[in-house]
Structure 1
Amino acid sequence: MAADPRGKSVTVNLLLPGGATVTGMLPPGRRPRGSRVPEPEVMGPPIVRLASDDAADVHDERIVAAEFGQWLRDRESRR
């Protein structure tokens, strides 16, 4: 899908929360012991960034919201 709009003003990226989130994907009280379960808010910062002009050149990326800070640092270091 990302190849179709290449060269146009449309970008295609995949944004994943980083695991099952606390949105009804897990039955109540069934959080895996010893693991972090992302809250839905984890999606906010990457969504805001991807919707901004700062992300105009972000295309065909797989972004894990729970690791967004590291993804952004890695991307900035490649510039």
Structure 2
Amino acid sequence: MTTSAPESVLDVISELLIERLDIPSDEVRASTPMRDLLTDSLMIVEMAISVHDMLGITVEEEELRAATLEEFAASVEARRTDR
């Protein structure tokens, strides 16, 4: 995929939720708690693996449970820029 601007981390994570975890796109909003999107432990593990594969960032299960989608994306983005 070629775009004029790089995708934001929020966009990448949103796409992972929609495409890999089959979450309806109308449920994927920045203000939604991740625990509401990732409703079981398998989804949490799959999301952590996907974030690592796509963005090279290791995330913990508690991060995925404690933050909104926007907060989680900001945390991942901050770690990417610290590299």
TM-score by length of structure 1 reads 0.31
Larger radius of gyration: 1
Bigger relative contact order (CA 8 A; separation at least 6): 1
Structure with the bigger percentage of strand: 1
Structure with the bigger percentage of helix: 2
